[in-house]
Amino acid sequence: MRLANENGLKVSIAGTSATVALILIVRLIAGSDVPTVTSVSHGEGRKNKFAIQKESNLSLLRSDRLKISEGIGYAGKGRNIFRLEIPIPSPPQPKPSPPAPEKQFLPTKAKLRLKFFGFAITSGGGKQVFLSEDGDVFIGKEGDIVNRRYRILQVKATSVEIEDLVDEVQQMLPLEQG
């Protein structure tokens, strides 16, 4: 029985000590910002203790440090999180682009490697032309692009007008007898 009394006494002392320590830690962390009301009296000519403690809290403020902090402006990058307005950035000034170089057309005497060696008249009345370049044979009609480079502009009985889309050159190719 004596053992139970000793443990109960130790537990109650530890609980009381923990409570006091907790109260002291809270007061230490909160400092004097948390008003404590011990007693309130409304007698004439006497102030209540809450009002006296509030005045003492205001006297603890360091006005010299407050004045220093008031003069500091926000100098971070980006948006000021302490202001409601959002600064609108000015649109970037367009850089003047250099003048576009004029396209120089090759003289019409430039020799295309394409050769016109025949044509066929289809049942619809259109003409299909047979063209060759380095051993490759291409078949097309007016408006078609062959070899991803040449557009067939006009087909005649003895010649075909071709436009080189890469070099932007137009040339008449005569029908070659072979």
List the alpha helices (DSSP H) in 31-124: 49-59, 63-70
Last residue of a domain, one of 12, 44, 69: 69
Provide, rounded to the nearest whole percent, the portion of the chain with pLDDT above 90.
22
Q: How many structural domains compose the chain?
A: 2
pLDDT at 106: 46
pLDDT at 176: 85
Residue 75 lies in a domain: no
Residue 62 lies in a domain: yes
Mean pLDDT of 140-144: 92
Residue pointed to by tokens 């060759």: 132
Residue 94 lies in a domain: no
**What is the tens place of the pLDDT at every residue in 2-47?**
555 678 889 999 999 999 999 999 888 876 554 555 544 555 555 5
Angle at 32 between CA 28 and CA 37, to 5 degrees: 110
Mean pLDDT of 87-106: 67
Residue 74 lies in a domain: no
First to last CA, the chain: 131
Number of other CB atoms surrounding residue 130 within 10 Å: 16
Domain that holds residue 159: 115-174
Structure tokens given for 117 = 């060696």
Provide the pLDDT confidence category of residue 108 given band limits of 50, 70 and 90.
very low
Residue 77 lies in a domain: no
Q: Which of 76-90, 93-107, 129-143 has the lowest mean pLDDT?
A: 93-107
Number of other CB atoms surrounding residue 128 within 10 Å: 16
Is residue 71's pLDDT more than 50? yes
According to DSSP, the residues that pair with 165 across neighbouring strands are none
User: 65 with 119, same domain?
Assistant: no
Last residue of a domain, one of 69, 84, 103: 69
Mean pLDDT rounded to a whole number for the chain: 77
> Residue 56 phi/psi, 5° resolution?
-70, -35
Residue 78 lies in a domain: no
Residue 144 lies in a domain: yes
Structure tokens given for 17 = 């000590």
Type of residue numbered 18: A
Residue 108 lies in a domain: no
Structure tokens given for 104 = 């120089």
